Structure 1
Amino acid sequence: MLLSDLLDAPVRDSDGRALGYVVDVRLVLDGPLDGVLAAPRLHGLLVSPRTGTSFLGYERTDENSPALLARWLRHRHRGTFLVLWSDVVRPDHAPGPRDDEQAVTLRGGYHRWDPALPRP
Structure 2
Amino acid sequence: MLLSDLLDAPVHDADGRALGFVVDVRLVLDGPLDGVLAAPRLHGLLVSPRTGSSFLGYERTDENSPALLARWLRHRHRGTFLVLWDDVLPPDETHTPPAPTITLRHDYRRWSPALPQH
TM-score class, shorter-chain normalisation, is: over 0.9
Q: TM-score when scaled to structure 2?
A: 0.93
Distance 1:44 1:112, change over 3 A: same
Aligned to 2:24: 24
Matched residue pairs, number?
116
Verify the 8 A CA contact 2:5 2:99 in the aligned structure 1.
Answer: no
Distance, in Å, in 2 between the alignment partners of 1:48 and 1:111 is 15
Distance 1:113 1:93, change over 3 A: farther
- Residue correspondence of structure 1 range 73-112 to structure 2 within 5 A: 73-91=73-91, 102-112=100-110
Distance, in Å, in 2 between the alignment partners of 1:34 and 1:118 is 25
Identical pairs, percent: 82
Q: TM-score when scaled to structure 1?
A: 0.91
Aligned to 1:46: 46
**RMSD of aligned alpha carbons:** 1.7
Distance, in Å, in 2 between the alignment partners of 1:91 and 1:26 is 18
Which sections of structure 2, spanning at least 5 residues, go unmatched?
none
